Amino acid sequence: MPDYSPVKEKFGAHCLFGASAADFTTYRAGGAAEVLVRPGSREELLWLVAWCRSNGAPLTVLGRGSNVLVSDKGLPGVTALTARLSKIEISANAVTTEVGVIWDDLARVSAENGLAGLEKTSGIPGSAGGAVRMNAGAFGQETFDRLARVEAFTPTGEIVSLEKKDIPHGYRRAEGLEGLILLSARFEFEKADPAVLLQDRSCVLAAREIAQPLQFPSAGSAFKRPPGDYASRLIDAAGLKGFKIGGAAVSDKHAGFIVNMGSATASDIYALMNEVRARVKANSGVDLELEQILLGEF
């Protein structure tokens, strides 16, 4: 096991040992990160990547932890949270963000500046880096619609700039970014009336309040939309609304969400995911694919 004292020396209060995933993921469940670091600049993130590489420490990079489930056994090695990488620059038709920017801030700022194309993704509770990595989207818009390019760090320590056309991606996936640590992203827009964009934003935020169980911890939709259907419809049709394992439940407000009722372990949530998949398969023959990412050992 590496000696993590150089990391502690470098990051001080921004380096914690044994921080619970309940404190850095929106599921509010799961085990501890062996070492949790919040780099304050890209230079610090790059230092950390290089340190992990030369010391053989596993590294997991997370934004807001809003699309992941961390095992109750925890996360070995270093977990880096990008929240402090939060610079954002707006120009006439583009926004460039560091990856830790809150996605909804980007959606709001672009709408306020009359930059159209991401206003319907308002309310997605991740970071810009997580949104790009997942090609997050909602109400017919997705991150890659407006993405122009990303800047990233390769596993061999190079900084690269990739154009969207060179990044294979699709619905809730960006396989062209696998293995890269994203540093910043540039989005380019059409111009539109800010009042109209802000109105669209308000409608979308209101629709989320109405449809989603936002009062309970979750990581959004647990499963991807299967072709020609909705995971939530299939789960509801299998009679699973409100179905519980331990402290985890299929939301009775939106069957696509698995929620933490307060005391869920990651094992409860994982067992519920599997049970939902099995029962939907038995009821409708559809294999649901997990949208959320499992981290650690399950």
Ligand X SMILES: Cc1cc2nc3c(=O)[nH]c(=O)nc-3n(C[C@H](O)[C@H](O)[C@H](O)COP(=O)(O)OP(=O)(O)OC[C@H]3O[C@@H](n4cnc5c(N)ncnc54)[C@H](O)[C@@H]3O)c2cc1C
Which one of the spans 14-22, 188-196, 211-219, 263-271 is the region binding ligand X (CB under 6 A)?
211-219
Choose, by CB under 6 A, the member of 138, 238, 266, 269 that binds ligand X.
Answer: 138
Q: Exposed, middle or buried by CB within 10 Å (0-12, 13-18, 19+), for 231?
A: buried
Contact between 61 and ligand X per CB under 6 A: yes
The DSSP code for 179 is T
- By CB under 6 A, what part of segment 173-192 binds ligand X? 181-182
Give the span between the Cα atoms of 32 and 17, in whole angstroms: 8
Contact between 70 and ligand X per CB under 6 A: no
Nearest in space to 85 (alpha carbons), one of 30, 41, 134: 41
**Choice between 182 and 280, CB closer to ligand X:** 182
CB atoms within 10 A of CB 23: 13
Choose, by CB under 6 A, the member of 28, 38, 133, 186 that binds ligand X.
Answer: 133
Contact between 124 and ligand X per CB under 6 A: yes
CB atoms within 10 A of CB 8: 16
**Angle ∠(273,277,278) on CA atoms, nearest 5:** 120
What's the start-to-end Cα distance of the chain, in Å?
22
Give the span between the Cα atoms of 277 and 37, in whole angstroms: 35
Q: Which residues participate in catalysis according to the annotation?
A: 172, 221, 291
- Helix ranges restricted to H, 135-217: 143-146, 194-211
Contact between 269 and ligand X per CB under 6 A: no
Contact between 78 and ligand X per CB under 6 A: no
Contact between 63 and ligand X per CB under 6 A: yes
Listed in order, strand segments (DSSP E) in 156-227 are 159-163, 181-188, 190-191, 218-221
Residues in the chain: 298
Contact between 293 and ligand X per CB under 6 A: yes
Nearest distance in Å: CB 244, ligand X: 19
**Choice between 61 and 245, CB closer to ligand X:** 61
Contact between 220 and ligand X per CB under 6 A: yes
Q: How far is CA 254 from CA 171, 214, 264, in A?
A: 21, 10, 18
Contact between 232 and ligand X per CB under 6 A: no
Contact between 129 and ligand X per CB under 6 A: yes
**Choice between 95 and 136, CB closer to ligand X:** 136
Nearest in space to 185 (alpha carbons), one of 200, 195, 174, 193: 174
- By CB under 6 A, what part of segment 11-30 binds ligand X? 26
Nearest distance in Å: CB 74, ligand X: 16
**Choice between 198 and 294, CB closer to ligand X:** 294
Q: Which residues bind ligand X (CB under 6 A)?
A: 26, 60-68, 82, 99, 124-127, 129-131, 133-134, 136-138, 172, 181-182, 212, 214, 218-220, 293
